[in-house]
Amino acid sequence: MATFEMLKRPDSVIVLGVTAEDRVIIIEQEQPNHPKHWSLPTGRIDEGEDPLEAAQREMREETGFTFADWKLVQVHQPYPKIEWFVHYYVAQNPLERVEQRLDAGEKIEVHEVPYARVVEHIKSGDIQGAEPLLYAILNGKEQLADILALDFVQD
């Protein structure tokens, strides 16, 4: 009998937070054992947690922002031999901004920037965790309105 081995890790969430007509959140973060880098708010789904709840929690913890409207735009399995799904959300209409609640060792600076700047970061490979946005941009969806109009995609 043959054994097929596959790794498993907790699923994750990544969020594009839209704070104004053409402004979105990106973070500059430094994690233990990782150099400073740009990313979208990202995190692990805790055991028993719904992906949307995880996205809302991670956004609040990392940036302090809460949002009224949430849309799941893609669920992606980055590596076929790892059971790990990444849920990509777009959050709109900020409600409030509270103090960040960072994990031990995390250093996160929150930036509200024009969406065009995020597109530049994504195209140059300077922002981590933005693969679905990169695919959309490469397929001619460079405007924020195009991203907001995306329908759910499961790959």
How does pLDDT run across 108-127, given as a tens digit for each residue? 999 999 998 888 888 888 88
User: Could you list the residue range(s) of the whole structural domain that residue 68 is in?
Assistant: 21-154
β-bridge partners, 29: 37, 108
Q: How confident is the model at residue 3 (pLDDT cuts 50, 70, 90)?
A: low
DSSP 151: P
Q: Is position 39 within any domain?
A: yes
Q: Is position 66 within any domain?
A: yes
Q: Is position 15 within any domain?
A: no
The per-residue pLDDT of the chain, averaged, comes to: 87
Going by C-alpha positions, the residue among 118, 130, 119 that lies closest to residue 89 is 130
Q: Is position 31 within any domain?
A: yes
CATH code for the domain in which residue 82 is found: 3.90.79.10
Residues 6+ apart with CB under 8 A from 32: 105
Higher pLDDT, 45 or 120: 45
Q: In the chain, what is the straight-line distance between the N-terminal and C-terminal CA atoms, in Å?
A: 30
Question: How many structural domains comprise the chain?
Answer: 1
Q: Where are the alpha helices (DSSP H) in 24-93?
A: 51-63
